[in-house]
Each structure stands twice: as structure tokens, then as C-alpha cells.
Structure 1
Amino acid sequence: MRDAGTSSLLRAAIWVAIGALIAAAIVCVVWLFVGSQDGIIGKAFLTILLLVAFSGAAILDAHLAPRRPAWFALSSMIGWVALLLIGAVMIWMPERAYFASFTRFIQFLLIVLIVQLALLHLRLFVKASQRYVTGFTRTVTVVTIALVVGLAALLMAPLVLWEYVDFRDLYWRFVVAAAILAAVGSTLIPLVNVLFAPKKERAATPPFAHVPAAPMGHAPALAAGGYPPAADAAAPEAHAGEPELLPWPTYVDGVTPLPYMPDGQPDWGAYYSGDPSPGAQVFGPIHPPAPAPQPEAPQNHPVPPQPGFQNFPPPQAPPGYDGFPPPPPLPPRP
């Protein structure tokens, strides 16, 4: 279902880009016949650059659409379409001031910056508003989004029409009022999240299996046979999503579990000494598996003494194993 929605969104974005290219071409052709003939070659070159840049931006947005929310991918494509149409109008509008071409280029870059900042603000704001959803936060979100979009339009209008329209003082009063209200709405949602949004809990990773810390004088819960409970094999659904846990450590025999201290932790001192540490408790009776039958060793027949040779006693094995110290002692057996 998600793949189908993503592919339909990609198709819609591509069709929007195609329609925008056709509309921009129509605008350029109309201005070609209506406007003056001054600098027509430079305007045509700038138009080709604008169309190529828009095509690259549209292709990039189409590839990034599966990683973005659906509303943001569509809003980003609409923003690029608006920039394409605004750029085409600014290229082919008759010039009424000196150095108008360079001034329009700088103003178009400012318009691109305004659109991208507005989109970034909306994405972060909507993500923050989804942490704690109530009727109040939903209303503030809708009103703030409308104010941010309106503020962006109010800021772009003078950059496009400054040669033809004289913007009065009342217009800039509306711009400042929209900026203040948008800033207030943008700060309300983070404040509400700090006060009322649930905090994310960090899952602690215990070093061993899920053996609860027992009070003084009480043993942790044991599984059948007197062994500590297994890590995640017994109840995989209960610990889904948690990191893999280690089994309870044992003595050198690999069967007998180490004693546990009053705080529920393994008695590591018993591993090296073979005896439980003071205050440590041992688990229930352990029944180790029966040893596998060993094959009978071949009988060594004594070699009769040979005349002319002196019989020496067999060499004794040195202490340790090939120069290494012997393993820790086994645990005490009843």
C-alpha cells in the first residue's frame, strides 16, 4: 500500500513538472510577442537555463519523494513550480530601470531562499506538532501554516513587482503583523511539547539475562531444573525489539551456574576460587548431564628389558598445560 501511494505521488509530481514546463513556455512565448525586442537573445538564454534548472530540481524531488512525507513532497514540487513561473515572468517583463537584469537576478535568488526557508519551517513545525495532538495544538498548527505561507507571499510580491507597484506603508504593516503572529504560533507548539508531551524512555541494556535483583536472602527466580531463566528463548514476544542478552555465567565445568550476590549479580570471585564468596547464595540442586561414554584406552603391554640398554622411568608431565596455568578449580560438589 505504501509503495502504491509513493508511485502515484511520483507520477503526480512528474505530471505537475511537465505542466509547469508547458505553462512557462507559453508565458515566454506570449512575452516574446508582446514585450520589446531588446535583449531577446539574452532572455532566451536565461529562459533555457531556468527550464533546465527546474527540470533538475523536479527530478531530484521525485527521487527524494519516497523518503519524505507525502504532503511535504507535494508542497516542495508546488514551490518549484511557483519559482519557475515567477522566474519566467521576471525574465520577460519589460525593464523600467537601469541594471534591471542584475537586480532581478538577485531578487530571484532571494525569492528562492524565501520559498525554501518556508518549506523547511513547515516540515519541522508539522513534525513537532505531531508529538502532542489536541484540539488546541491542531488549531494552532493550521493557523500558523496559513500565516507562514501568507508571510512568504507578502515578502515575494515586492521582489517581483517593485518596478510596477508602489507598496504603501500599510502593506508593510501587514507584513510585520503576519511575521509576529507566525513567530508566536511557531513557539507555542514547542512550549506545549515541553510541558505536556510524553518523554521518550531510554531502554537500559542489562549485562546478563533477565534475572531480577533479589532482596537480601532471596534467590532470583529459577527455571525448571534449578537453572537461571534463559535470556530471550523462552518468551521472544516479551522482549521483542530489545538487544540480545547473555546467558548466566557458569563455572569452568560449563554446567554449574555461578552463585549470586545479594544484589542479584553473579559472584565472579567464585569463578576463580571455586568457593562462593561471603554472602553469596547458590542456586538449587544442579543435575549435570551424564558424561558421554569414553572409549576404552588400549592396553599398554610392558616391553621386556633389552640387553645392553638401561631402562629409565617414564618422563613426568610438568605442572600446568604446555606452559599455561591450570584452569580454575571446579565448584564444590555435595
Structure 2
Amino acid sequence: MTEPITSPQSSTVLRASIWVAIGALIAAAVVCVVWVIVGDSNGIVGKAFLTVLLLAGFAGVSIMETNLAARRPAWLTLASMIAWVLLLLIGAFLIWMPEESSYYSGPERFFKFILIGLIIQGALLHVRLYLKAFLRHQTTFTSIVTYVTIGLVVILGVMLVLPIMTEEYIDYKSIYWRIVVALAILAAVGTALVPLVNALFAPKKQRPAAAVPYASPAQVQQWPTYVDGVTPLPVLPDGQPDWNAYYTGQPTYAQPALATPIPAPAPVAEIAPAQPAPVDPLAPQAYPGYQGYPPAPPLPPQQ
């Protein structure tokens, strides 16, 4: 139901919807041509102009639907194309059907066409949002309710469109509208059941944890210590480090009884300066120019 349009089955559905659009466009054009030939000549120029606009609009919508198909599930692409085909046929019907009375003029039929378009597209939007709620938490009960509700919505849409199209030629009795109201109530109840079941029994979506901002080691402030670099300084009553204890070795204020006493820092031993190593007079000395060679021979005894 939600497979991408790139799958083989979805690609077949897309090609089928495109051919349906092409066939509907050709059929509507042929029917309009036949009406031009065999129909009356009353307002034929205006009807022909409206027909050209209708066919051009349908062609543009078909191209738009084809471009949007890559981001939609296959069923939605096919259902949307069928909805536009129905609007094309209904528009051709409203343009070329003869007017039975002066009350139903051209502007009146135009507003009828707009109202029918809103009904069809509204039903399609309802099914799209309703299926999204159904796919969130699927059970046997919600599956039955979903398919029954979608069927009721489709039937209700058809029963609302038919009187708008044919009220000039057919007189609909009160029982017809009673059935329409009953279907509307049942469709509304079915529409409310699935979101209600989801709210009660569907697992809640977990919100992602907020990301902890990164702090570099230089930004982390550590508690000061004594000179040994390990023992922490005592805490003053205001929560600040006892800097006086750093110099004295004893806390300024008495610490709790259970606190471990802090030893005074050990005195630093004085390091004697390094003494030069004794020079052995018998040891061979290095002389300039003799690096890596034996030392020079001693002088002969003097008389």
C-alpha cells in the first residue's frame, strides 16, 4: 500500500495511469467533436473555448501528477489520476449538455464544476490521511473499520456529485437525501474510530534525546587542590574553595565530623646543587684537532 513508485509493480501502475489519462483525453476530445457536429449551434463558440481550456488543464494536471509520482505510493498516483479523469468527463458533460431552463446558465455550471472538484479532491484527501492513521497501528478491528469507512466515503462522494450534475434533468426524492445523511454519519463515526483506537492502544513514539553539547577539556572547570595536586581544597559555607587553606594547610572553617582530615602538604625537600665530577689527571684529555684520535705524545724531559 505504501511501496515506492520505483518498484516494478508501482511502475506498471504509473504507466497504466498515464495511459488512462491519455485515453480519457482522447475520448473527451472525440465526444466533444461529436457534440459540435450533431448538437445545436447555440453558444458553440463559447463551449468550444471552454473545452479547449478543460483539455489543456487536464493535460497540465496529468504532467504534474507524473512528476509527483516518484514521491507518492502507487495507489495514490492511480487514485489521483482517476479523480482527474472523472473531473474531465464531468466538465465535458457540464459544458455540452443542453440547458433545460434559463436558470442553469454557464456561470451556474462553472460553480457546479468547482464544487464537484472540491468534493472529489476532498474525498481523496480524506482517504490519504485516513490510511496514514490506519498504518500507524493495524489490527483486525481497525482494518475492518478502515475499509468499510473508505467504501462509505466513496459512495457518499458519488451520491453528492450525481445530484449536482443532473439536477436539471432528474428530481431526487427525500429518501435519497436521507440515505446521504445516514452515510455521512456512518462515515464520520468510522473516521473517528481509527484515530481514537490509536490514541488508546497504539505505542507512543519515543522522542529522541536532546544532544549534549560538546565541552572541550579546557572548558571543564576542576576543583582546586593542594600543592600535591591530588587532595581537594575544603569548601567554604558559600560553596567557594577555601583558598586560605592552600597556604596554611588547614581549613579555615571546621569540616563535618565524618569528613576525612586533610593532611598538610609535605615540605618540599631542598635539592643541593649538582657538583662537578672530579677530574682524573691520568685520564686522557681531549685536545682540539684530535677528536676520535689518540692524544698527542708527552714532551721530552728538559735538561
With normalisation by structure 1, the TM-score equals 0.63
Against the structure 1 CA distance between its residues 277 and 74, is the aligned structure 2 distance closer, same or farther, given a 3 Å change threshold?
farther
CA distance in 2, matches of 1:92, 1:178: 32
CA RMSD of aligned residues (A): 2.5
3-state SS in 1 of match to 2:31: helix
Question: Highest CA radius of gyration, 1 or 2?
Answer: 2
Amino acid at match of 2:194: I
Shift of 1:36: 1.7
Confirm or deny: 8 A CA contact 2:94 2:109 kept in the other structure: yes
Q: What is the CA distance between 1:19 and its match in structure 2?
A: 0.6
Which residue is equivalent to 1:150? 155
Pairing 1:117–2:117 present: no
Q: 1:103 to 1:269 in 2, by over 3 A?
A: same
Change (3 A) 1:203 1:4: closer
| Alignment partner of 1:184 out of 173, 186, 189 | 189
1:27 to 21, 28, 31: 31
SS in structure 2 of the partner of residue 91 of structure 1: helix
Q: Assess, with a 3 A threshold, how the Cα gap between structure 1 residues 175 and 268 changes in structure 2: closer, same or farther.
A: same
Distance 1:189 1:278 in 2: 63
Deviations 1:125-144 (A, max 9, x none): 00000111011100000000
Residues 225 and 233 in structure 2, CA contact (< 8 A), matched pair in contact too: no
User: How many pairs align?
Assistant: 227
CA distance in 2, matches of 1:278, 1:127: 62
Using the TM superposition, give the Cα deviation of residue 7 of structure 1 relative to its aligned residue in structure 2, in angstroms.
4.1
Give the drift of 1:34.
Answer: 3.7
Using a 3 Å threshold, how does the CA distance of structure 1 residues 206 and 33 change in structure 2: closer, same or farther?
A: closer
Q: Which runs of 5+ in 2 are unaligned?
A: 236-303
Partner of 1:268: 221
Q: How far off its partner does 1:68 sit?
A: 1.3
2:92 counterpart of 1:83:
no
The one of the two structures with greater contact order (alpha-carbon pairs below 8 A, sep at least 6) is 2
Q: CA deviation at 1:196?
A: 0.4
Q: Percent identity?
A: 55
- Cα distance in 1 for residues equivalent to 2:62 and 2:177: 33
CA contact (8 A) 1:269 1:277 kept: no
Letter in 2 for 1:135: T
**Would you say 1:74 and 2:78 are equivalent positions?**
yes
Structure 1 residue 3 and structure 2 residue 37: aligned? no
Q: Are the structure 2 counterparts of residues 2 and 84 from structure 1 closer, same or farther at C-alpha, using a change threshold of 3 Å?
A: closer
Q: Which runs of 5+ in 1 are unaligned?
A: 209-245, 253-266, 280-334
SS in 2 for 1:157: helix
Q: Which has the higher helix share?
A: 2
Q: 1:42 aligns with which of 23, 46, 54?
A: 46
Q: Is residue 25–residue 55 contact of structure 2 (8 Å, CA) maintained in 1?
A: yes
Residues 94 and 206 (structure 1 numbering): CA distance in 2 closer, same or farther, change over 3 Å?
closer
1:27, 1:89 within 8 Å by CA — same for their partners in 2? no
Establish whether residue 140 from structure 1 lines up as the match of residue 145 from structure 2: yes
Query: Is the 1:10–1:65 contact (alpha carbons within 8 Å) kept by the matching residues of 2?
Result: yes
Deviations 1:250-283 (A, max 9, x none): 469xxxxxxxxxxxxxx7333899765779xxxx
1:93 to 2:93 alignment: no
Looking at structure 1, the residues matched to 156 and 233 of structure 2 have their Cα atoms a distance apart, in angstroms, of 73
Change (3 A) 1:174 1:2: closer
Q: Residues 196, 33 of structure 1: CA spacing in aligned structure 2 closer, same or farther, 3 A cutoff?
A: same
Contact 2:146 2:190 in 1 (8 A): yes
Partner-residue secondary structure (3-state), 1:130 = helix
Secondary structure of the residue that 2:223 maps to in structure 1?
Answer: helix
1:57 and 1:8 map into 2 onto residues whose CA distance is 20
DSSP-derived class of the 2:98 partner: coil
Which residue identity is paired with 1:169? S
Q: Distance in 1 between matches of 2:216 and 2:93?
A: 76
Residues 71-108 of structure 1 show CA distances to partners (whole Å, capped at 9, x for unaligned) of: 11110000000000111111110111215211111100
Cα 1:132–1:75, aligned 2, differ >3 Å: closer, same or farther? same
Partner Cα distance (1:71, 1:200) in 2 = 26
Residue 270 of structure 1 aligns with an amino acid whose one-letter code is W
**Are the equivalent residues in 2 in contact too, given 1:13–1:74 (CA < 8 A)?**
yes
Whether the 8 Å contact between 1:35 and 1:93 is mirrored in structure 2 is: no
